[in-house]
């Protein structure tokens, strides 16, 4: 079993009309044994920028702390928040720095850029970016997430329809993966508000 599958995870980000959603499962396991059912995989960088980290749980927490530190330094120096594109480049650089002993994480970055245009991207453990205009997925449930998102995604959804779509895609995908699950955690971000919801799923 790959080290990326040690704790299990499912992450998805999807864009709508001037909004985006990012969602994850809540399970932390050691192979097939469940350790925690309220594990946080999605982190707020600022009001319009969120980071999801799939992969090894301990590396995800370490990487999150380093990225928050770097973002705070940027805020002090520039006196503004980082744009999503800039933050994606920072994450990529931080991961590539450690390419000979990488963080075992696959990040998903979602944010609202200039003119509230949604930006989503994912990358591998050494920082090779993959940009998308519809959705990105990561984690052990990524294969079933691809299928669910491909069939459910529609362009220019409003925030309520986007929440419904991303939630259905996540729940149906984690039911097909034994390393992720135990409900979901969904953030829907619009230019004016951030909505956070907990989903209940199969508890097995």
Burial label for 146, CB within 10 Å (0-12, 13-18, 19+), is middle
CATH topology of domain 3-199: 3.60.20
Residue 179 has pLDDT above 90, yes or no: yes
Q: Quick one: tokens of 60?
A: 């995800």
Q: How many CB atoms lie within 10 A of CB 87?
A: 23
pLDDT at residue 204 in the model: 78
- pLDDT tens digits, 31-57: 999 999 999 999 999 999 999 999 999
pLDDT category at 126 given cuts 50, 70, 90 is: very high
Residue 163 has pLDDT above 90, yes or no: yes
Contact 52, 138 (CB under 8 A): yes
Residue 1 has pLDDT above 90, yes or no: no
pLDDT category at 185 given cuts 50, 70, 90 is: very high
- Average pLDDT score, the chain: 96
Contact 50, 110 (CB under 8 A): yes
What angle do helix axes 142-152 and 159-174 make, rounded to 10 degrees?
Answer: 140
């Amino acid at each position: 079993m790959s080290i990326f599958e040690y704790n299990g995870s499912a992450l998805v980000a999807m864009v709508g009309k001037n909004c985006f959603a990012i969602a994850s499962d809540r399970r932390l396991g050691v192979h097939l044994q469940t350790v925690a059912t309220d594990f946080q995989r999605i982190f707020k960088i600022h009001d319009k920028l969120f980071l999801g980290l799939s992969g090894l749980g301990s590396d995800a927490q370490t990487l999150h702390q380093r990225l928050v530190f770097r973002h705070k330094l940027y805020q002090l120096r520039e006196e503004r928040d980082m744009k999503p594109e800039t933050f994606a480049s920072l994450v990529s650089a931080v991961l590539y720095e450690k390419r000979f002993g990488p963080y075992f994480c696959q990040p998903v970055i979602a944010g609202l850029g200039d003119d509230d245009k949604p930006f989503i991207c994912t990358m591998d453990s050494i920082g090779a970016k993959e940009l998308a205009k519809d959705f990105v997925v990561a984690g052990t449930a990524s294969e079933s997430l691809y299928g669910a998102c491909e069939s459910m995604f529609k362009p220019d959804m409003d925030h309520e329809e986007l929440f419904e779509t991303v939630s259905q895609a996540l729940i149906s995908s984690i039911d097909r993966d034994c390393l992720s699950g135990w409900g979901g955690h969904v953030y829907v971000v619009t230019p004016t508000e951030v909505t956070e919801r907990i989903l209940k799923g199969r508890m097995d």
